[in-house]
Structure 1
């Protein structure tokens, strides 16, 4: 195994920020040490062979409580915000992108069931890392335009039968459940195109697909660590109790219980989380580039002495710092209860 390159703070993770606190600094250092000491050696070994992250690594993440960063302390989580969630994920993604991503499969995902007692149980499992899911939203003809989803949910007594095709379902085979977005009816005149879309909880065992669901792993050029799936659903049976609502339990009386609301809320968080992970990967590129410039020699000296390359490196470092400042701003807005829909889309683009 090739020894891992050491972390180098070309873009210091502790840059001054109006949202910086001693508690966040401590959390960031813990995540950075974890990424350097545990994640990076595994990534260097498994990523080149498109390997999957080992169960021991998942267990180590769970032991830190990081599957429940945004889950309330009442349910066994850390009770922190989107900011801390992204802070940890940036550091983990600096070592291996998929490890920063796997945290999104916790954080209360797949817990918005109708029964309050069961919801509490699932939240506790999510926080503990024993309720890790997969999200099946996209389809061959519906990605950013989720209103174009064609997967159907047809009522059959007390159950629903899901039929359709889903793309880009990360971690689907290894998950405890797959959250599937499906259409239960067509929109009425004057309604939004998203009317009639509902998320369903397909509960499964790790390592197998449930009856009616088959999958083909998508061959990716990167983003290894877990498999990403093209799923076929043929009358997958789901009880009505596993139809998800838009409620997490903290919205108060009168909140919209429509299931698509939970998808919209989750996507805004997912976008800034994607941006934070991208910053982690970009930091790794800048740091590795810096080390290479110091090692590579031309004309009897390191090429890091050449001003043109220094200019390029400075531009790279500045762009990474800019992107970090933006995701921190958007995460702060979300923690303040603002939807930040345009901002979350913009930071993902950046």
Structure 2
């Protein structure tokens, strides 16, 4: 840990405790949206441009710095830690041509142009190659038709990155023929030719997650990202950073539960003493702290591998798997230490628990991570 990184970490921690946590404690119980004022403050801190090259107005830093900031933000509210990815590392941005990068990246780095990613469909989740949404060439445009699901921030974003099939599916190579598009839109609205409804969730509040229906939504051909038919490769490149980011989010949630439970255990008295005096509670806190630190060190290793250009797909899956499974256990233990108080909305530990559960699902389920790890160990079967 360099001095520069430590200073960045401390600044993010202070920002989270002063700016993020109070907003989360107020709005999450109400299922309110992250306010524009907080988005502006994130932009002022430079958090939307950590990974964006300096030539486009970003900081030009690496995954290590990105995940340091992410852990701190997630300690306050995971949704805010997720929001910064809508500028930094939205899937597909690396495949933009130079004209697109010049047009979009500087605005993304400033937080002025944030995106949502639209890949999943009602019948397509982990099996990305099975998607059926179509993009049909029509003159100098494409017409998008089909349904999408699990598109978080579809309304609040300034653009969507969407994956759609531009040629018929080949049963022997289902991943081919899928293309990627930028759909620019007005913030607060869905694009013309697109309707939708928000999905009722049990957590991950602060923004809405949408099911979308595209009906001849027109997209200029110049908004095709990369080459036609190559989107599957674009979507799967750079997953190491995305998985490290999710590990950081999980670690932040677990740390929130640990810190809150530690404070509560010292304040809560039973049998004429703080419950932190009891070995059962002390050992729970010790286990929680140990698991968090183990996940953090694995994440740091993966970030170093990414930043030095080393292959780490197996290790990135390990970090995501271990951190997300750990976060659910640790946040659940946090609730146990709070007792009945933990099963109320009067304390943030229940939010950490609800959001931790999601980290085992998005960015590749725990089962998908185990498949990746085992394939690297044993080969594909």
Structure 1 residues 108 and 271: alpha-carbon distance in aligned structure 2, compared to 1, 3 A threshold: closer
Matched, 1:139 2:111: no
Structure 1 residues 43 and 145: alpha-carbon distance in aligned structure 2, compared to 1, 3 A threshold: same
Structure 1 segments (4+ residues) deviating >6 Å: none
> 2:137 aligns to what?
155
> 2:9 aligns to what?
28
Report 1:128-277 matches (<5 A): 128-188=110-170, 192-245=173-226, 258-277=230-249
Distance 1:162 1:269 in 2: 29
CA shift for structure 1 position 189: 7.3
Distance 1:153 1:25 in 2: 46
- 3-state SS of the aligned residue for 2:218? strand
CA shift for structure 1 position 28: 0.4
Structure 1 residues 317 and 112: alpha-carbon distance in aligned structure 2, compared to 1, 3 A threshold: closer
Q: Deviations over 1:46-73 (max 9, x none)?
A: 1110111110110111111110100111
- 3-state SS of the aligned residue for 2:136? strand
More helix per residue: 2
Q: Deviations over 1:236-274 (max 9, x none)?
A: 11111111127xxxxxxxxx9933332112433211111
Distance 2:32 2:54 in 1: 34
Distance 2:243 2:102 in 1: 26
Structure 1 residues 84 and 164: alpha-carbon distance in aligned structure 2, compared to 1, 3 A threshold: same
Are 2:95 and 2:234, in contact at CA under 8 Å, matched by a contact in 1?
A: no
Are 2:49 and 2:59, in contact at CA under 8 Å, matched by a contact in 1?
A: yes
Matched, 1:338 2:320: no
TM-score if structure 1 supplies the norm length? 0.87
CA shift for structure 1 position 114: 5.8
**Paired residue for 1:39, among 9, 20, 25?**
20
Are 2:97 and 2:226, in contact at CA under 8 Å, matched by a contact in 1?
A: no
Q: Deviations over 1:109-134 (max 9, x none)?
A: 36457652342121111111111000
Query: May I ask how many residue pairs the two structures share in their alignment?
Result: 321
TM-score if structure 2 supplies the norm length? 0.80
Distance 2:74 2:242 in 1: 14
- 3-state SS of the aligned residue for 1:66? coil
Distance 1:305 1:276 in 2: 31
Distance 2:134 2:235 in 1: 17
Compute the RMSD of aligned alpha carbons.
Answer: 1.9
Are 1:112 and 1:245, in contact at CA under 8 Å, matched by a contact in 2?
A: no
Report 1:50-129 matches (<5 A): 50-107=31-88, 109=90, 111=93, 115-129=97-111
Are 2:244 and 2:303, in contact at CA under 8 Å, matched by a contact in 1?
A: yes
Structure 1 residues 153 and 338: alpha-carbon distance in aligned structure 2, compared to 1, 3 A threshold: farther
Distance 1:163 1:293 in 2: 54
Structure 1 residues 182 and 315: alpha-carbon distance in aligned structure 2, compared to 1, 3 A threshold: same
Distance 2:155 2:25 in 1: 23
Are 2:160 and 2:184, in contact at CA under 8 Å, matched by a contact in 1?
A: yes
> 2:331 aligns to what?
none
Query: Any unmatched runs of 5+ in structure 2?
Result: 323-381
Structure 1 residues 87 and 100: alpha-carbon distance in aligned structure 2, compared to 1, 3 A threshold: same
- 3-state SS of the aligned residue for 2:186? coil
